[in-house]
Structure 1
Amino acid sequence: MRAAASAFCAALLLAVSLPARAIDSQLSANLLVNASAFYPVYGVDSEAPNLDLRDDPRLRQLQTLDTSAAFGGGTARAHFEGRMGLLRAFAESSYPYCCDATGHRVVQGYSNATVQGRFYDSIAVTGAGLAVGTPVSYTVNFSITGALSNPSFESGGFLTAYGVAEVRLRDMSSFAEVNKNWDASRDATGVFSLTLDTFVGRTISLSGMLAVGASVSDYARLGRTAWADFGHSAGYQLLPSVAGLNTTGASGYDFSAAPVPEPGTWLLLAVGLGLLAWRRQSGPCLLRPSSKSGASSAPPTANGVMAPR
């Protein structure tokens, strides 16, 4: 018995001392939709699907998540598509106005939708017949297209629509990196290029992020619907300074290929707006409280921070 206990303790200590295996490639996405009502009925419809693929062959294939919520006249919808080197996201929310013509309180609540997608891959700096230690460089072309509803923000956070993205290229030996944080509230869409100096024999990492959100409260006065449509892509292309240098990541995806946006998101937006128009014509519906979730959250502000009610 004592010998077995000693062996168990030794195995436990060994397991604790061993470092966790490093992740060479990853694709993740988190969606959240809420449609909440506080008056004249109380309840919430909430969904939060997620995706997390690590060192998986499916990283090279387009992955899709889609979810929606509806309660108390409010609706929310979130959509994500992504793979290595390509991220797309769409969020839309609507909610009826609180009061009638006389100022009498008719409804109280809010709806919101958020999407965040990320990818990470590591690329060995090899090839082109170059000796280890030869100085080279890689340029990442980051392209972003999309739009926010107008207006995209109302004081107090009662109506918001936001879109932010990121690109990061890093030398895993020196930890030198180039990066860009993009924000739809201040930056134009387009293509942005960043160059990283490195050496043959090292490993570099490339990561990208795209996050969008839309929220509408019954207090909003500037609009009843908000959306963030970045479904035409945040694309990431990697080009070496010397032809023949490796551009294929641990995932098996070749980042030298230019991402080609596929049409379809504007159709998604049109369908969503058509659904909202139909709901407005048919009047607000008061559904039974959802059994899927009993929790709710305040609508986010333009920077994603929860706003107090």
Structure 2
Amino acid sequence: ASAQATATGGAGSVQGSAQALASSRSTGAGAGSDALATAAGKSGSAVTQSVASHGGVTVTTDARADVAGTAVAATAAQLGGTPLALGSVQGFQAVSYATGTPDAAAGASPLLGAGTQGASYSGTGVLTYETQAGFAFDTGTDSALKLGTFGSTGFGTGLTLLELTVSNNGTELFSRSFTSLADAQLFFSDGSFSLGTLAAGHQDLLLTAGFTFAGAGGLAFDYGFAVTAVPEPGTWLLLLGGLALLAARQHRQRETAGKA
């Protein structure tokens, strides 16, 4: 596991400053890493990346927050262990957490991984943030890919644009745009989307969220990916049942974190 964080705070009427922290850890069932960057000033950015590899799967998370006062970016990636939960986006300007399933590459588990991405802003100008989560693995046969959305948390009315994309090996599989918090939260309320078939071989799955704020607001959402041999129609019911169980777990963790 590895982590890196960089922060640059630009000078101006506010003195520039930067702080970056990174660490790796063991999850008991795999590996994990965490990164946190804080930047202050009139310009600059806080950028973090966390990477964890185990059992033929690599999980990478990235977050970038541009500075207009103070910006905090946080990432965490792990293989195995309890799925990470965010709870609330307040306190982070950009954040991406992801947990991968180590035996998914071997076909032992249909659930590839799950995570949370989010951003928030408390200023009055226009700023953009970007978060990403990547899952790299190999498949021995053609596989069906499914995206699950497990709910969200948000506040304020400052979100003016969310651009969500999913790609594999650089080819876009899915794209949606939202121009309000209400529209985005409606999409992330326990949905399931078929992303097509992955040809056997190396997969480099990437989920990217670009947030634009023109005022105070925030949004964080939970998601999951499932990959399995191309199933018969009835088999999807079993797969969706697994996603539903994960959704329930993510909701409980988000509620617990929000009360902490």
In the superposition, the TM-score normalised over structure 2's length comes to: 0.47
Higher strand share: 2
Which structure ranks higher in relative contact order (CA pairs < 8 Å, sequence separation ≥ 6)? 1
In the superposition, the TM-score normalised over structure 1's length comes to: 0.41
